[in-house]
Structure 1
Amino acid sequence: MPHFIDVILPLPLDKRFTYEVTPEESEVIRLGMRVAVPFGKSKIYTAVVAGKHKNAPQVYEAKPISQILDESPVVTKTQLELWRWIASYYMCAEGEVLKAALPGAFLLESENIVQLAPGFDQEEIELNDEEYLVTEALQRQSSLKIQEVMQVLDKKSVLPVLNRLVAKKAVVLDREIYEQYTPKKVRFVKLREEFSAEKAMHQLLDDLGRAPKQREVILTYFNLQAQSKKPLKVKTLTSKSGASSATIKSLIDKNILEEYYLEVDRVSFKEETARGEIRLSELQESVFQQIRENLKEQNVCLLHGITSSGKTEVYIKLIERVIAKGKQVLYLLPEIALTTQLIQRLRNYFGDQVLVFHSKYSVNERVEVYNHVLQNNPKARIVLGARSAVFLPFADLGLIITDEEHETTFKQFDPAPRYNARDTAVVLANFFKAKILLGSATPSLESYFNAKHHKYGLVELDRRYGNVLEPEIEIVDIKTKHKKKKMTGHFSDSLLQEITAALKEEEQVILFQNRRGFSPILECNTCGHSPQCPNCDVSLTYHSFSRQLRCHYCGYHIAMQQKCMACDSTDISTKGFGTEQIETELKALFPDYKIGRMDQDTTRGKYAYEKIITAFEQHELDILVGTQMLSKGLDFRNVKLVGIMNADNLLNFPDFRAHERSFQLMLQVAGRAGRTKKRGKVLIQSYNPHHQIVQQVSTNDYKGMYKDQIEERYNYKYPPFYRLIKFSIKSRDYSKTNESAAWLAKALTNVFRENVLGPEFPPVARIRNEYYKNILLKIPQKQSLGKTKEVVNKVLTSFNAVPAFRSVRVVVNVDPM
């Protein structure tokens, strides 16, 4: 009776594929193991086993697998369930989820390479005809791909032949293809056993009398060994003794020192742990108890705690209780910038039970973290990570904390799966019967709505820790300031006075501008022309640091123009401003102070965030200018003043969430001020100081904002009252984009009537030479989400069957942000 397995391939396919396995293989194979399988004419892919059965596929003949890659599963049953849920809810393929969920080193899509084994001797090994042909070909050519072996033998199934050759030690298969992950090894040295006795040691030092450098190395070795019994790295020995690596090598050649290698973790932290007891204030203690009560009744609880109210301490207490029961904790953060500060705080408390996982880690580092979690290693009790951490192979999850749950960075935009980590975490917690805590000073309307309607528990923490006063928020009307000539560059006189006062008192200042670069528009004053990106419908942003005009959508860049490209006039000026320009102006206004900048341009490297944040924490910088990275829950003790350079470009945005977002962003930035005994100050510069949102920020009126916005959402049928699915139609051909979008909108309107909006061009309608058009589908609460998606899938299948639309792509985004 033939045996079969269903696998998930790392490709955007709608269903799993079935392969045939031998009864022996079937016994070894378990769900979640990786297998190499042939797919298509000649490709070999790494796939994950998702099912075992004895039913042959009806439509095609099942091929045999190429080889089994694991001895034990690398994917857990819960992960497979989660992938299936993500694929169905976010309307994408399981293969796309697989690619997002597994570190790249696990998924290789290339052919094996065959080489002759070192020291191969044809006379000594008995080979049959096929094996002889392969070895002969390899003597003429140093290596062959599997495809080439198939041509040599003129047959498809060459793996049995190769396996026999491997068993006879005639050839080696280059495992590089399958195992990209290599453990990190460090070179250590130790003194050979025979010199450990005192007599031999003195004799050795006498013998080395003529080689002073080598003698110095041995003396340093004894010194270091006396201080610590830890294994000694070659690096440490060379740096302490001042010797060269050649000196060490000659000691190894003389059989005095012996070298050896040990595997070490790539991700290690140097801080010593100081397990300080965390003492909760009365208010925090009562909140902690309320959360525990809420989580007894419900699985999800929302903690609405104002900025600097001490939410992290409450989280730590909850984590402590969960890991005491031997369970794992996932702590989700919206931004890598935040992990830096939190690692310190959690490590000071939990020591080396904390692991970190995010996209700035290398492939090998991610594999290491993945394996620790999979093996339920004590090192992986607490996993701190950005959104992709929800895909880790947890064994026994007890609690998920989603901090700053309102952040849009929890939503993946491209490529698929376009999942929201906050919502996925709720489902993941369900699989483990774990609890989930959402925390934010400015919760998203959806979460607050769920809490108000008793779907989630709700706990409020409305005073700052240690009864520190909330910052005083002042709005500056820059329209009037311009008229009265009281502006210096982009700074009002009030803001300059406050900065000067804060710096005099040796306090720090944060300035926020949500645009990077120097200035977003370069304009000719003679003819009005401004340089545009040739690939996208946007103007080029001027970056003074690199003296370039850059497109922030596709990365296109040209050198800064000295004259107008249209009329050759030299009278050109920049309009608008970004973080670079503020930094330049500040350097001119405050030449004696250190000024730093934190945006995408300055945080490209792996440790770039860390360097800037640490420099600011240690008061090496006096003023920090930055984009929204600054708003994400960072805790600086010495910030007296926060300045928001221009509130208007946040508010005037064509999006139903614009007001909610700008309220959250401004309040979060404001929350960085005055987090210790001295009261902080926040200045918001705006051309429209009487705008409702600006006023609500100035009085920290979250409930007022919620009431207004929820009313608008109800009237205009937006979330949380209606669900949304957004379709983005894109193609390089303008008329095709229009035709296909009209066709799709009509097909959807036939079923969903007035709940279809569009097609509509977005504000930036062309990116990387592709034209975009959007359609929005609204789903009322009473309408079944599952059935809606079934209908949508049928419409999309018909759409893809139209030959004229072959070159058009439709991107489906469920619950767009």
Structure 2
Amino acid sequence: MPFFIDVILPLPLDKRFTYLVDKYEAEYLMRGMRVTVPFGKSKVYTGIVADIHQNPPGVYEAKPIHQILDKQAIITEHQLKLWKWISAYYMCAEGDVLRAAVPGAFLLESESIVKLITNLDSDDLELDDEEYLIIEALHRQSSLKVQEITQLLDRKNALPVINRLVEKGIVALNQEVYEQYKPKKVRFVRMAEAHSGEAAMHKLLDELERAPKQREIVLNFFSLKAQSVKPVKAKHLLQKSNSSAAILKSLLDKGFLEEYFLETDRNTYSGDAPNSDLVFNEYQEKAFRDIKENFQKDEVCLLHGITSSGKTEIYIRLIQETLKEGKQALYLLPEIALTTQLIQRLQSYFGEQVLVFHSKYSMNERVEVYRHVLANDKKGQIVIGARSAIFLPFSDLGLVVVDEEHEGTFKQFDPAPRYHARDVAVVLANFFKANIILGSATPSLESYFNAQHHKYGLVELNRRYGDVLLPEIEIVDIKTKHKKKLMTGHFSDRLLEEIRVALKEEEQVILFQNRRGFSPILECNTCGHSPQCPNCDVSLTYHSHNNQLRCHYCGYHIAMQQKCMACDSNDISTKGFGTEQIETELKSLFPNHAIGRMDQDTTRGKYGYEKIINSFEQQEIDILVGTQMLTKGLDFRHVSLVGIMNADNLLNFPDFRAHERSFQLMLQVAGRAGRTKKRGKVLIQSYNPYHQIIQQVSANNYSGMYKDQLEERYNYQYPPFFRLIRFTLKSRDYSRTNDAGDWLAKSLSNVFDPYVLGPEFPPVARIRNEYYKNILLKIPQQQSLGKTKTVVHKIMNSFKAIGAFKSVKVVINVDPV
């Protein structure tokens, strides 16, 4: 009887595909191994084995697989289980989850590109006929697609031949979008055997009497060997000798020194030995005991600790206890900027046991982290990372920490799966029966609601570490200041006065403006025209550093206009302001002080965050201007003043979460002030100083905000009382998007009326020449989520069957943020 395997392909398909295997392959294969399989007429994909059975597919004839890629599974049972849950809950394909969960280097495809690594003469290499054919073809053109090689060899599958060449180190297999994993090799030098004795050493130094630079390298080599038992890196030797690579090469050519290479991890810790001293105050001690009590009851625990109350120390103690039990710990953060500071803190306690995983890491680094976690070796015990770290192959997870759990950045927007890392973390911890703690100074309404209704345990920590007082919050009415002409640019006299005081006392200042660029609108004062993006329904933002007008949605940019594009008038001015304009104004107001800026434009590189945060920590920057990146749990010791430039553009946003979000943002950014002995100060500039949220921020009144917002959510039927599913339709044809939206809304209303809102154009209704329309489905608590999704699937299948709507794409977002 034949054997079959179900394979998850990295494609947005609704189900797994079944392939034929022989008896020996079926015995060798395990769930979680990679196989290359044919798909469609000529494509070859790498898929993951999800099941091995003897049931042939009913609708199509199963094709045989091409090749087995692994000796053991690279995907664990827990991962397969989690993928299935994410796929069902967030209404996306398992293939989408696979794409998000596995580093691209593991997923070769027939679109992969083959290139020659070396220019070796093919006569010198031991090649069979097929390998020789490929090498000859690559000598004639720089790269070939796998598909082209398949045609060249006139065989069904060329991947085994290509893999042989990859193993021999002759060719590289490069996906057009990623680089294949290559281990990092470090170059070391050692003394040649003939010169290793003392007499030989003296003789060598005499011989080099006339080559002082070479002699300098040799002397420094001895000096480095005397200082440490570690092998000598060529790079360090050159730095210490202040010499060039050419001089070292001449020593190697003469045979005095030898070079050799060792494979090394890209993620290494080279700091001091970790320390394990943690001193808790009585409030932390009590909170820690309460958390342990909650863990006894197997509950999710919400830690509501005000800013600078010492939450991180509690997490570290919990991780220490988890490691003692021999289990793994996962520490999730909302923002890459935060990992920079936390890595240093965690490494000072746990040394090289800390691994880091986030999107700014190269493919090679991510593959290394993945392998360490899969092997569950000493290096894979603690993982700190952004939301994608949830997909790593843990085998014995004991603790999950979700820090700043209220953050919207835990939610994935595009592409699918549109998961929320906090909610997935709760499910993942449940699979492992691991402890999970959610921490925040301003918890999300949903989490706090769960804690109030005893679904989660709640632990409060409402004293700052070292009994430092919470910052003093002052609201500045800039409407009045404008009338009295007390504004300098975008700065009120109060804010400037406080900045001067802080700088005089050699303290640092943070200024928060939640908009990057110089100015969001350029406007003609004659005809009122403002340059728009040709691809999106937004005005272009002015960036002064490169004198460009740029679209923040599609990246379209043009040079700054000197006159109006509509009426040729020279009378044009900018409206509104972003971080760049604040930076420019500060430079003219405080020319003798160092000004830094932290937003998406200044943190593009891999180490962009690190550089800015480190120079601010080392007090090389006096005033730091930034967007919401600054609000996330960063710990700066010398900040005495925080200024919020304009609170109103946070509040006046068309979203039911706008008030909750602006409260969280303002309170979080306020929490960066006065974290050591001296009490900090926060100034909030607003045109509407008596707004309820601003008043609640100034009184640090979380419970007041929670009650008000909860009442509003109850009245208007929003989470946590109702679940939401948002359908976004998009297409390049305006009327087709409208028709499709009307059809889908009507079909949903037939079943779910009165809980269907829309179809409605979003605030930005066209992006990259695609028209958008939204439909919101509300699901009351008593209604079954599973049955609702089943009905939605049926409606979507009917929608896809309509020929006129073929070009309309529907994005389903469960629990949108």
| Shared fold, TM over 0.5 | yes
Deviation at 1:170, TM superposition (A): 14
- Letter of the 1:350 partner, please give it: F
**What amino acid is aligned across from residue 619 of structure 1 in structure 2?**
Q
Q: How many angstroms apart in 1 are the aligned matches of 2:751 and 2:375?
A: 49
Contact 2:110 2:146 in 1 (8 A): no
**Within-5 A mapping of 1:175-254:** 176=173, 180-254=180-254
Cα 1:172/1:504, change in 2 over 3 Å: closer
Q: Distance in 2 between matches of 1:219 and 1:491?
A: 60
Shift of 1:483: 1.1
Any idea what SS the aligned residue of 1:558 has? strand
- Counterpart CA distance in 2 for 1:137 and 1:269 is 42
More deviation, 227-236/433-442: 227-236
Give the counterpart letter for 2:215 in structure 1: R
Q: Please identify runs of 4+ aligned residues in structure 1 that moved more than 4 A.
A: 111-122, 131-155, 157-160, 169-175
Cα RMSD (Å) of the superposition? Answer: 2.5
Distance 2:159 2:359 in 1: 36
Alignment of 1:640-789 (within 5 A): 640-789=640-789
CA apart distance, 1:205: 2.7
Contact 2:269 2:351 in 1 (8 A): no
Cα displacement (A) at 1:502: 1.2
1:389-408 → structure 2 map (5 Å cutoff): 389-408=389-408
Residue identity matched to 1:277: D
Counterpart amino acid of residue 397 in structure 1: L
Task: Give the match for residue 280 of structure 2.
Answer: 280
Q: Which amino acid aligns with 2:359?
A: S
Gaps of 5+ in 1: 126-130
Instruction: Kindly report which structure 2 residues correspond to 1:93-492, keeping only aligned pairs within 5 A, or say none.
Output: 93-110=93-110, 142=139, 147-148=147-148, 151=151, 156=156, 174=171, 176=173, 180-492=180-492
**What residue is the counterpart of 2:595 in the other structure?**
595
The structural deviation recorded for 1:677 is 1.5
1:47 alignment partner, SS class = strand
Give, in angstroms, the shift of residue 192 of structure 1: 2.1
Q: Identify the range of structure 1 (296-305 vs 773-782) with the bigger mean alpha-carbon deviation.
A: 296-305
Contact (CA 8 Å) 1:387, 1:410: kept in 2 or not? Answer: yes
**Structure 2, gaps ≥5 residues long:** none
Paired with 1:398 and 1:698, the residues of 2 have a C-alpha distance of: 39
AA in 2 matched with 1:296: Q
1:32 aligns with 2:29: no
The equivalences for 1:439-588 within 5 A come to: 439-588=439-588
Question: Would the aligned equivalents of 1:117 and 1:170 in 2 still touch at CA under 8 Å?
Answer: no
Paired residues in the alignment total 809
- Whether the 8 Å CA contact 1:114–1:145 is kept in 2: the answer is no
AA aligned to 1:693 is I
Q: Hey, what's the Cα distance between the residues in 1 that align with 2:294 and 2:317?
A: 16
Query: Residues 171 and 444 from structure 1, CA distance in 2 versus in 1: closer, same or farther, beyond 3 angstroms?
Result: closer
Shift of 1:20: 1.5
Structure 1 counterpart of 2:613: 613
CA pair 141-532 structure 1, distance change in 2 beyond 3 A? closer
Once the two structures are overlaid, the 10-residue window that deviates more, 374-383 or 26-35, is 26-35
Residues 522 and 573 of structure 1 are in contact (CA less than 8 Å); yes or no, is this contact kept in structure 2? Answer: yes
1:503 Cα shift? 1.2
Percent identity, aligned pairs only, is 72
State the match for 2:49 in structure 1. 49
Q: 1:36–1:47: 8 Å Cα contact kept in structure 2? A: yes
Which amino acid is 1:278 matched to? Answer: L
Q: Assess if the C-alpha contact under 8 Å between 1:166 and 1:173 holds in 2.
A: no
Contact 1:117 1:171 in 2 (8 A): no
CA contact (8 A) 1:134 1:152 kept: no
1:414-447 CA-partner distances (Å, limit 9, x unpaired): 0000000000000000110001000000000000
CA distance in 1, matches of 2:798, 2:264: 54
Q: Which amino acid aligns with 1:7?
A: V
Aligned counterparts of 1:271 and 1:153: Cα–Cα separation in 2 = 52
Note closer, same or farther for the CA distance 1:210–1:50 as it changes in structure 2 (3 Å cut). same
Deviations 1:1-59 (CA, angstroms, capped at 9, x unpaired): 32221111111011111111222222222111111111111111111111111222222
CA distance in 2, matches of 1:5, 1:173: 33
Shifted more, 80-89 versus 175-184: the winner is 175-184
The amino acid of 1:77's aligned partner reads: E
CA drift at 1:134: 8.4
| Counterpart secondary structure, 1:754 | coil
Q: Check the 8 A contact 1:304/1:439 in 2, yes or no.
A: yes
CA distance in 2 between counterparts of 1:278 and 1:221 reads: 40
Shift of 1:606: 0.8
> In 2 relative to 1, CA 111–213 (structure 1 residues): closer, same or farther, beyond 3 Å?
same
Counterpart of 1:53, as a letter, is: H
- Cα deviation digits, residues 522-550 of structure 1 (max 9, x gap): 11111111111111111111111111111
**2:760 is matched by which residue type in structure 1?**
E
Distance in 1 (alpha carbons) for counterparts of 2:16 and 2:134: 37
Partners of 1:571 and 1:136 lie apart in 2 by 67
| 2:173 maps to amino acid | E
Whether the 8 Å CA contact 1:114–1:172 is kept in 2: the answer is: no
Letter in 1 for 2:771: Y
Please give the secondary structure, in 1, of the residue aligned with 2:412: coil
Give the match for residue 128 of structure 1.
none
3-state DSSP of counterpart to 1:745: helix
Could you tell me how far apart the structure 1 residues matched to 2:605 and 2:167 are? 45
Report the TM-score, using the length of structure 2 for normalisation. 0.95
Shift of 1:466: 1.1
Residue 181 of structure 1 aligns with an amino acid whose one-letter code is: Y
Q: For the Cα contact (< 8 Å) 1:518–1:581, is it kept in 2? A: yes
Match of 2:92 in 1: 92
